Amino acid sequence: MHGSSSSDAGRTRRRKRSDSAGRLSLTAWSPADLHDRPASLQPVPGGGRSHHASGIRPAAQQEGLPLPPDPKHARGIGHRVVIVGAGFGGMNAARALHRADAEIVLVDRTNHNLFQPLLYQVGTAALSGNDIALPIRSIFRRQRNVTVAMDELTGIDRDRREVSLASGNTLSYDTLVLATGSVYSWFGHDDWKRHSIALKTLDEADLLRNRLLDAFERAEIATDPDEIARLMTFVVIGAGPTGVELAGAVAELSRHTLARDFRRIHAPDARIILCDAGPRVLAQFPQTLSDYAARRLQSLGIELRLSCQVGAVDAGGVEAGGERIAAATVFWAAGTAATPVARWLDVKAAKHGLVEVGPDCTLPGHPEIFIVGDAASCNGADGKPLPGLGSVAKQQGHFVGRTIAARLSGGRAPGDFRYRNYGQLAMIGSSSAVADFGWIRLTGFAAWVVWSAVHLLLLVSARNRVVVYINWVWAWLTYGRGARVITRPLADLLPEGAAHRPGTVNARAGSGA
């Protein structure tokens, strides 16, 4: 009786609060949701336990709203940690909090975790999207202190400790972890974006694969030799690991997988050009490995245009090094910038839009806000900024999770973040790669074996590892690629401003009869 009346009153107050402010907060959720929580997260009448020892006040207490009674007589709602981004950094931060007495809300604009190092293989038909992605909810199914919200961050109020979301909801936090990653930068030429394909999401990988395969299909039915040459010219801008791996994969696709698939064109004649403003490929690798990579790329028939500034990218192709290159497909793998974290936080941005953080990955003056991964400018032990690598984000996420857990439990904090460089790898076509571990450097087949093993181990699920391994073995034995299906209509595949110019074919070939 008493518990029932207080619960009804609580529901009424929560409904009014939600209707008037549109807040997404713990107090706006239904009692049914609360009953599904683990005991450590169940609310009790009068609010939750205090965390004043950590210097941070629980969000539920800040709101000052009565919480419904808990039929299981649990301890209290506790501390709320909001993690934005479910990539390497956000995922590892949430996992490190698996035993923390806290409510963790993981916000991401998609419903899946994506293994980006293999995204180029989705774009070149070697793998499908499901092979390298996994639903976030399935990853945290057993971690009962994690709630997943598919939404997008649009703003942060540091004073109120709230984040605004694209859905119109706001979410209060006690601790905030920003792991929003990076986006590609076109160096101030936003119009180039309309005529090139970047590679950050599954949608972009799907578009890349469709555009790549469609170029060969359109070349097959074209009659104008100049148009055929344009359709079979592929330009990759940026000779870092992504650009090198992408160029090598396109070469393997055209030279081997598609070699016997067409009757009117010769797929191995495809022209693949790799451009970079720097003097060498894989500039972050030692010179010897960079030189090996250049030789290997050239052996695949790839043209290298180094120390070559791109002057224009449009529907007809690119202008690079003062030369006009007619190309139907341009892949962009040059330059990244942080997501607008600095604008959301209303702080001064560092180079490339990054936000400078302290040695513990917190925003200076705000110990409750952590920034990790590609959005953070964090110096290593040598005083130089850490590179934008997945390994950095992964280690920072784990460190931040341990730091938050120590604060909540009153235990010893792990100290300052120290990045451990375990090496870097890049694949160059099938059966060849380069590997730099500092104490040892590998090239060729041995490096490729190491590359394959490392990437398999880093995949999130056992199912993904098995499927990817089977696909790789099949491709290695047969040069086959099983994801060569065009799934988008032609209008979606043409670069903006480009016209469909297939030429004409004889009536028998084009009639479908």
Name the residues annotated as catalytic. Answer: 245
CA distance 202 to 12: 42
CB atoms within 10 A of CB 468: 21
DSSP 143-204: -TTEEEEE--EEEEETTTTEEEETTS-EEE-SEEEE---EEE--TT-HHHHTTSB--SSHHH
Instruction: Identify the DSSP state of 70.
Output: P
> For residue 384, how many other CB atoms are within 10 A of its CB?
8
Question: SS3 of 379, please?
Answer: strand
Tell me the CA end-to-end span of the chain in Å, nearest whole number.
78
Contacts of 29 (CB under 8 A, 6+ apart): none
Pairing state of beta strands 424-427 and 433-436? antiparallel
- Residue 449 C-alpha from the chain's centroid: 24
Cβ(435)–Cβ(423) below 8 Å: yes
β-bridge mates for residue 172, sequence order: 162
Concatenated DSSP letters for 445-462?
HHHHHHHHHHHHHHSSSH
**Alpha-carbon span 220 to 216, nearest angstrom:** 6
Cβ contact 24:165 at 8 Å: yes
DSSP 253: I
43 close to 35: Cβ distance less than 8 angstroms? no
Beta strand ranges found along 357-513 (DSSP E): 362-363, 366-371, 376-377, 424-427, 433-436, 441-443
Do residues 254 and 272 lie in contact, with contact meaning Cβ atoms separated by under 8 Å? yes
CA angle 401, 403, 407 (to 5 degrees): 115
What three-state secondary structure class fits 60?
helix
User: What is the distance, to the nearest Å, from the Cα of residue 212 to the centroid of all Cα atoms in its chain?
Assistant: 21
Cα(321)–Cα(336) distance, integer angstroms: 22
Both tokens of 392, joined, read 């950095």
Distance from the Cα of residue 153 to its chain's centroid = 15
**Residues across the chain:** 513
**Which residues is 434 bridged to in the sheet?**
426, 443
Tokens of 60: 């539920």
**Sheet (strand 323-326) strand order:** 310-314, 317-320, 323-326
